Amino acid sequence: MMGSDKETYLKMVAIWSITSIPDLKIKLIGDSFKVTCKFGFIVSMDAKLFYEIEPLEVVQLIEKSFTKQFGVEGSKYRNTFRGFKKNPFSSQN
């Protein structure tokens, strides 16, 4: 799916650059994406929602569900962006 769908692939590249949850994967099943990682199932997300919101918002949903599923704070896997001179999420870039 991701190899042939450029929009999904690019969104996942953005998501992987924001979070380093081990072995984070996404699979379209019907009309929703199933998000999994090394530890198991994280969350189902409506495909329409996935495409409407920004990658940072997708990561926030994944992190929140990760915390509920596994009892470990999902944001601990957030990449730090220490190598950037500017905040990559700032509208001032």
Residue 3, pLDDT score: 43
Number of structural domains in the chain: 1
Instruction: Give me the domain span that covers residue 12.
Output: 6-77
Q: For all residues of the chain together, what is the average pLDDT?
A: 87
pTM, to two decimals:
0.81
The 3-state secondary structure of 34-63 reads: EEEECCEEEEEEEHHHHHHCCHHHHHHHHH
Which CA distances in Å does 41 have to 26, 52, 82, 92?
10, 22, 30, 36
Residue 74, pLDDT score: 93
Residue 26, number of CB atoms within 10 A of its CB: 19
Is residue 61 in a domain?
yes
**pLDDT tens-digit series, residues 51-85:** 999 999 999 999 999 999 999 999 999 988 666 66
Which two structure tokens, joined as six digits, stand for 75? 């944001």
Is residue 26 pLDDT above 90, yes or no? yes
Is residue 68 in a domain?
yes
Q: Residue 7's Cα: distance from chain center in Å?
A: 14
